[in-house]
Amino acid sequence: MFMKRNYKILLILLIAVGTLWGFSAKKITDPNKEKLIMQVVSYVLERGHYAPKDIDDKFSETIFNNFLEATDPYKRFLTEEDVKGLEVFKDQIDDQIKQSDLAFFNQFYDVLNQRIEESKGYYKEILDKPFDFTKDDTYHSDYDKMGFAKNKVELKDRWRQQLKFSALSSYYDLIEDQEEAIKKDKNLKLKTNDKLEIQARETVLKNTDEFFNSVDELVRDDWFYVYVNLVAEAFDPHTNYLSPQGKDLFDTDMSGKYFGIGARLRKKDGDVNIDELISGGPAWRNQELEVGDVILKVAQGEEEPVSILGMRLDDAIKLIKGPENTEVKLTVRRIDGSQKVISIIREEIELEETYVKSAVIQDGKTKYGVINLPKFYVDFDNPNGRTAAKDVKAELERFKSEGVEGLIIDLRNNGGGSLQTVVEMAGLFIESGPIVQVKDAGKRKNVLEDKDKSITWDGPLVIMVNELSASASEILAAAMQDYKRAVVIGSKQTYGKGTVQQVYGLQDILNDASVGDIGALKMTIQKFYRVNGGSTQLEGVKSDIIIPDRYSYIDIGEKDSENPLQWDKIDSANYKPWNKFGDLNQIIALSKNRIENNPDIKFLDEQAQYFKRQRDDNQIPLNFDAYVAKINSNKEMTNRFKALEDYRSELTFNSLSYEIQLFVKDSTLMEKRKRWHQSLTKDIYVAEAVNVLKDLNETTSIPSKIAAIKN
């Protein structure tokens, strides 16, 4: 809740190249762990970042403002007086970083925690009295433009507005629910509006209690890691400090696997609940653990169990995870109140949604294939482990055996991954040649090439992208576009992340095991460029065929982030375009004509504009009648756009033969694929991608089609 730019963590490009550039040449020692972390992070950033910044007064002001925003984004804790008291540090943080001085962080931490404690009294006092929903009042949610409260009186009134809005929303829902219930049971005894208002406040009180419980779980380390990360992010949006736990999550995210029991947990009412069992995992196969169970104790094999009641979720997860083939015993409370001790042997858990999935598209008598690629995953700990390139190659071979005549690769919402993996994957579609150019901080250029002359797939190819396709996704789309190997369909442009990061363990840099795990630094060390010489930084990859989507009018790309690196261009690499599908411009012209005359796509564009207006609307009436009028107006628009849900293509989607065999033992996987296939029939972008594949297969008749359109 406190990190406003959490989405950046998803947009990662990681490679395993290079050395530590002699960082460990300087002996950095400090008995204080926090000072040690700040010392080594600043040292590495100044010497290794692609475009190092001067740590000066301007840098200091950036850190000051960003820390305020990151820790109190909704302006609910600090006042103008607090901020003025802290402003003495505004031009001193740079000097403190150089001297490993934490005076600013220490004072900020003390003030913030004091204000958080005071706020607990505000919300309980406010929610103890009824709200008057007949008064004219407005809740403003544009926190970026909102200054800090002048004093505690104004701060308390902000809490009142926010809590009143939450209560109004709950009150409205309760009235709606009661109206629906009376339709089913005419004898139902109705609650008075006063009782519904009390119930609404009780709901808000419970939710706010849970919010503050989660805040109370944050320890000093959590806030300090935010501070260090902001120092890193001030160099560019993709340079981050990863805490020890953050590094573990990063590795899991990149590899798509971890060692554990195969269950997702969440904290609810102070308890650690089983939220989901991962298909195929040990807990799922064990068939004793159930969704809704509450974990009370955790034991490692025959050791004494440890109670996790009141424990932070992160710490509970650490106890449950562990080395492969080791036993963990969970004492759980069932929904019926009974308790049971369940023994589970930890295994390697593969997060199925991380990996490639594919389907055969049946269009009349013709088959096409679609591959959904969530990220360019790789297992850095195992050179022979699973990678996106290997998995895509296997799917391509299967498609060929099933007589598929064209291929769609769906990179929508794919935030990136391994650079080497994307180079290997691009090589599946061309004979050989450069895939991407990389330039390091010393401005040396390196061309990464596909040197394997074999081609796994030489048929028609369409790549689907959107505004959230980033990094490695942009490399693949750009390379295929430059080679004229594929038609790129999607948003006006992709995300625009044209930088390369390397992860460095801080303990490794110090070369001192005695300091323990002090996290890692993910740092921008290179920029990459298309084979035509242009950078994807800021500009992204411009689609050959543009189809509007819900992000079309929303600022969401790299160009909208803070302090991004700039776009530039270098010399083109030596590459030879594919040119085996005739004039792609003619094929693009056919698609554009279909899009311009497609009423569903026009409706999509209208919906995207509506989403933009809704996003910009940050004033909410706290008068019930005015609130209802606003809700009804929004409902009218929402109902109008529901017509888009009725869209169905005439395409059918099926799993490949090998996956159908897996369904015999894995009904959960079968259900997931069934839902995915259903969503594909509603996907207007996939339908147009299939049309483009048809045109690519009919290149000889394209000129006559173009002539018909012009006439």
497 catalytically annotated: yes
CA proximity to 261, closest of 312, 332, 310: 332
**H helix count then E strand count, the chain:** 22, 24
Secondary structure letter of residue 569 according to DSSP: B
Question: Could you say which DSSP state residue 567 is in?
Answer: P
Exposed, middle or buried by CB within 10 Å (0-12, 13-18, 19+), for 445? middle
For residue 267, list its beta bridge partners: 272
User: What is the DSSP annotation of 380-426?
Assistant: TT-TTS--HHHHHHHHHHHHHHTT---EEEE-TT---EEHHHHHHHH
8 is catalytic: no
Alpha carbon distance 14, 520 (integer Å): 13
| Selected catalytic residue, list 471, 491, 552, 655 | 471
CB under 8 Å, gap of 24 or more: what pairs does 170-173 form? 170/199, 170/200, 170/203, 170/204, 171/133, 171/196, 171/197, 171/200, 171/624, 172/624, 172/627, 172/628, 172/631
Kindly compute the dihedral angle of the four CA atoms of residues 654, 657, 661, 663, in this order, to the nearest 10 degrees: -20
State the amino acid at position 608 in one-letter form.
A
How many angstroms separate the Cα of 89 from the Cα of each of 108, 191, 222, 625, 677?
10, 55, 21, 47, 56
How far apart (Å, rounded) are the C-alpha atoms in residues 489 and 495? 14
The catalytically annotated residue of 357, 497, 522, 527 is 497
Q: For residues 366 and 361, what is the distance between their CA atoms, to the nearest angstrom?
A: 8
Catalytic annotation, pick one of 236, 482, 683, 695: 482
Residue 159 is given by DSSP the state: H
How far apart CA 621 and CA 168 sit, in angstroms, is: 10
What gap in Å lies between CA 391 and CA 407, rounded to an integer?
15
Q: CA-CA distance, 238 to 523, in Å (whole number)?
A: 7
Q: Is 482 helix (H, G, I), strand (E, B) or coil?
A: helix
Distances (CA, A) of 189 to 174, 179, 181, 192, 498: 14, 11, 10, 10, 62
b vs e for 430-439, b when ≥16 Cβ sit within 10 Å of the residue's Cβ?
beebbbbbbb
Joined together, the tokens standing for residue 269 give: 């009412």
DSSP-derived letter for residue 519 is -
User: What tokens does 250 get?
Assistant: 């990063």
d(CA 90, CA 63): 8
Name the strand (E) or helix (H) holding 184.
helix 152-184
In angstroms, the CA 182 to CA 22 distance is 74
- Start-end of H helices in 234-333: 244-255, 282-286, 313-320
Secondary structure in 3-state letters for 655-699: CCHHHHHHCCCCHHHHHHHHHHHHHHHCCHHHHHHHHHHHHHHCH
Separation between Cα atoms, residue 312 and residue 276, nearest integer Å? 19
Structure tokens at 121: 């009294």
Residue type, 240: N
591 is catalytic: no
| Residues belonging to the chain | 711
Buried/exposed 63-79: b ≥16 CB within 10 Å, e otherwise: bbebbbbbbbeebbbbb
The residues annotated with a catalytic role in the active site are 471, 482, 497
